[in-house]
Each structure stands twice: as structure tokens, then as C-alpha cells.
Structure 1
Amino acid sequence: MPKGPSAAATATARVTYAVELARGASHISSTLSPETERRAIVETIGEFCDLYGEAKLPLFQKLLAEELRQRGKKEAALAVAQFKFVCNCAGR
């Protein structure tokens, strides 16, 4: 069974992606309907993927879901955690 990232890797990622996490969580939290929430998730994850590549996406999604849970947005956190995204970036 594959292990998740270590606590140190998670802490480093949280600092490295702090701006993207704050901006994404704010954007997703501010939506008013399921449709706009989905669009915000697509935009946030797509922008992250463009910047950092697909390999780093699972950890970012985990951290983004945690950030949303901390903001009291449990359903949005679940939507982010379950979201399947196909990155169109060129092998980052």
C-alpha cells in the first residue's frame, strides 16, 4: 500500500504553495452555486497544474481540501478531494 507524503514534505508543500492555497480556497469559498464552485475548482487546480505540473497535484488537492475544511466549507473540501483533473501541461 503506497504511503502518502511525509509530514515534512506536507509542511514544505504548505509553505511552498501558500499563495495558491489561500487564493484557491478563497475563490472556491466565495462561490454561490454548485456550478460556480465547480468552475472555481477547475480554475484553481488548472492554474496550479500549469505552474507546478501534474505530479504535485495530489498533494495540492489534499492541502486545498484541508484549507477549505478549516474554513468550514466541508462540501467544497469533499468536492476538491474527489475532483479528477487531467493536466494538459507538458511533462512538468
Structure 2
Amino acid sequence: MDKHNFKFNTLTKLFKKILGEKKTLIMELLVENMDENYLVKYTIKEICDELEVSKPTVIQTFKLLEEKAVLTKIKNGLYKLNLSDEL
């Protein structure tokens, strides 16, 4: 495993310990499925079904990301990740 992958895997493990595995999986799904404009097209139900997590877990994760200004809801099923350096 190269140094970058080792650091990424370590960071993922750290997030799982702090936030919990399900919240980390939700965040990974958002990042993996965002487009070049940081837009993610997923409904809460689609996330629940794909990751086999509860609706309250997805909603809690979204609220956490919104409180930290990392996620903005455009409309139902469309969200924008705010990953600029201004955070």
C-alpha cells in the first residue's frame, strides 16, 4: 500500500471511530457520487436502500454536514458539497 492510500485509510478509520461507521459510509457515498460541480443526485430513500441504513441516520448525517456548511440542499434529491478552501 502506498503512503497516500495508507493515510487515506487511516483517516477513514479515524472518521469511523469519531462519527460512526454508517455516517462515514454516507459521506463516502456522497463524495464518490458527486460530479465536477460537487453536486450529488441522491434521495434520502436511495441512500437508505443502497447503504442499508435508517432514514434517521441519513437525516442526522445531512444535518451535521449542513450545520458545518459542508452540504447544501438544492432541492429534494439534489445536494451540493461545499469543499472550497474557504471553510
TM-score, normalization: structure 1? 0.39
Which of 1 and 2 has greater Rg?
2
Counting strand residues as a fraction of each chain, which structure ranks higher?
A: 2
TM-score, normalization: structure 2? 0.40
- The structure showing larger relative contact order (alpha-carbon pairs under 8 Å, at least 6 residues apart) is 1
